[in-house]
Structure formats: structure tokens, C-alpha cells
Chains A and B, each alone.
Chain A
Amino acid sequence: MMGEVGRLQPQFPTLARQREADHFGMLIFLTTEVLIFGGLFAALFVLRAEHGAEYVKSSKAMHLWLGGLNTAVLLTSSAVVALMVEAVKAGGARLAKWLLSGAIALGLMFLAIKFTEYGLEYRDGLVPHLSPRNLHGGPDTLFMDLYFAATGLHALHVTAGLALLASLIWPFGAAPRDSSAVLAGNAALYWHLVDVIWVFLYPTLYLAR
């Protein structure tokens, strides 16, 4: 499958139609991801609607600056990925590989900051079950539960996105040959979605006042 990226499959009349179909299919898949996270946001919004005061209190205890830094990291990685797709389209294989590495490094940085945050929360006694010293078993615990569920699911998607990006470099090195930027484009779309989800998670979890 990796060998000849963009070879015309028998069910498609033209290569152009096949590429349209590939992108279209990817966008529909992204829509399903939006709806999955939508359910998580619904849970968070319901908690806020039903226990507003405790929600705000819990949100204030979050590491706002680390979260903000992570947001900047992800937004930058999205820009880098967008540049990477332009490079692939222009045939600049080496530049594309560097940009890919840069995006992956930023993604890893996001995960590192995230896990640092988790560690801080553990130290501060804000982790349900594992370190609940400062939690009182009510909506504040529920907030932290949803925080871990939402950011945990998001981190899983970040990891999947990183794997997708990495697959463009290793082991088959598809990026240089993908002159139509289909695979690169689809991996990029997934990465942008991961970014957008975080863009909404940040104010929801960290900036509720």
C-alpha cells in the first residue's frame, strides 16, 4: 500500500476523483471524532450548569500557564504541519521531512508538559483514587475525573496523530513520493483536529471563572 502512493484503484475513473474521495472520507471521519469529543464536552457543560460554583473553583486550581503553553505548542505544531503539506506539494522532500520532525517534536513536547501537569496534580492531591488528598468527593472530584478523562482521551489522539505523522517519515518514507500530498494531507487533517479539540478543552477546563 505504501509502495505506490496514489496509484489509481480500479473502482475510480480518474486519479483526481480518487483523491477527492480520500480527502472527503477523511473529513467525514474527522466529523465523527468531533462528535465523540462533543459528548465529553456535554458532560463538562452539564457539570458546570448543575454545579457552577464548584466547577469554577476547580478550574482555578488548574495550571493555567502550563495549559496555555501547551495550547501555544499545539497551535505552532499545526502551523508547522500546514507548512509541511505545502512543502510536500511543492516537491520539497527534505524540507518536508524536517518540518515533520519539528511537528512531531512539538507534539512530544505537548505530551511531556501534559504529563508534568499530571505529576503536579498528583503531588497536589488532586487525582481521584490515586491521590485524592485535597478532593472532597463531590463535584470537585467529578471535575477532576472529567479533566483526566477528557485530556487523557485527547492525549491518546495526540499519540495517534504523532504515529500518523511519523508514518510519513518512517519506515517507508512515503512523504517524498507523495507528490499529491494525499497521505500527508490526511495526516495533517487529523493533526489539525487534535489541535482544535484542545483549543476548546483549554477554556473549558482551565479558564472557567
Chain B
Amino acid sequence: MKAVRTILLAWAALLALLALTVAASFAPLGRVLPYVSYGIAIAKTAIVAWIFMDLRKRDGLQRIAVGAGVVWLAILFVLMFGDILTRGWPS
């Protein structure tokens, strides 16, 4: 039963975050908006991974397996945008 309660609480939190992200897109946040949007997306992902995917109960090895994808995407984006953003092309 405790597990069910945790899942339902997580679901509520996810929907709240969804409402927040939609609302944020209407707010005059300007250049900060992408950080807010993706920050919320990361928070949602963390909830799905930690609670729905049971990462809180899995061993370190399985957490690394999931984390590796994220880290490797970061390598791709950081080094690629290191090129794209420093080319000096007119935007």
C-alpha cells in the first residue's frame, strides 16, 4: 500500500510540474525560460526514474546504466555546441 501511495503522490507531482511548465511558457521569462522548461523536464524525469522505474530500489550498477546515457548525451551536446556556439556566424 505504501508503494501505491508513493506512486500516486509522484503522479500528482508530475501533473503539477506539467502545469508549471505550461504556465512558465506564458510568463515573461525571456532568456531564462529554456532553463526553467528543461529544469522542470529534468525534475519530471527524475521522478519517473526514481519512483516509477524503481531506481531508488535498484543497485548502483543499474543506476550507472541509466546515468551513463545521460552523461554521454552531455558529452555529445557540450562538445558539439562548443563548436556551434563559437563559430561566430551571424545568428
In their complex, do chains A and B touch, with some C-beta pair under 8 Å? yes
Given A34-B73, A42-B80, A203-B41: A78 in contact with B48 (beta carbons within 8 A): yes
Category for how many chain A residues contact B: 35 or more
Query: Contact at B15–A31, with CB atoms within 8 Å?
Result: no
A196 contacts B45, C-beta separation under 8 Å = yes
Given A82-B52, A196-B48, verify A30-B69 contact (CB < 8 Å).
Answer: yes
Chain A residue at minimum C-beta to C-beta distance from B38: A203
* A residues less than 8 Å from B40 (CB atoms): 203
Q: Which of A64-72, A104-112, A146-154, A171-179 lies on the face that meets chain B? A: A64-72
**Digit string of A156-184 for contact with B (CB within 8 Å is 1, else 0)?**
00000000000000000000000000000
Contact B18 A72 (CB under 8 A): yes
Give chain A's interface secondary structure class.
Answer: helix
**A81: interface (CB < 8 Å):** yes
Chain A residues with CB below 8 A from B84, complex form: 46, 49-50
Q: Which residue of B lies closest to A76 (CB)?
A: B11
Instruction: Give the residue name and chain of the B residue nearest to A85 (CB).
Output: B54
- Kindly list chain B residues whose C-beta atoms are within 8 Å of the C-beta of A202: 21, 41
Cα A38 to Cα B76 in complex, Å, equals 9
Q: Are B58 and A23 in contact (CB under 8 A)?
A: yes
Ordered by A's residue number, 17 sampled pairs between the chains whose C-beta atoms are within 8 Å are: A20-B59, A23-B58, A27-B65, A28-B65, A31-B72, A38-B69, A50-B84, A72-B15, A75-B11, A78-B11, A79-B8, A79-B52, A86-B4, A188-B52, A200-B45, A202-B41, A206-B25
In the A-B complex, list the 9 residue pairs whose CB atoms are closest, starting with the nearest: A31-B69, A34-B69, A79-B11, A203-B37, A27-B65, A207-B25, A82-B52, A38-B73, A75-B14
Instruction: List 17 additional A-B contacts (Cβ < 8 Å) besides A32-B69, A50-B89, A192-B53.
Output: A31-B72, A35-B73, A38-B76, A41-B73, A45-B77, A46-B84, A49-B85, A49-B91, A71-B18, A78-B48, A79-B8, A82-B10, A86-B3, A188-B53, A203-B21, A203-B25, A209-B29
Contact residues of A with B, CB < 8 Å?
20, 23-24, 27-28, 30-32, 34-35, 38-39, 41-42, 45-46, 49-50, 52, 64, 68, 71-72, 75-76, 78-79, 81-83, 85-86, 185, 188-189, 192, 195-196, 199-200, 202-203, 206-209
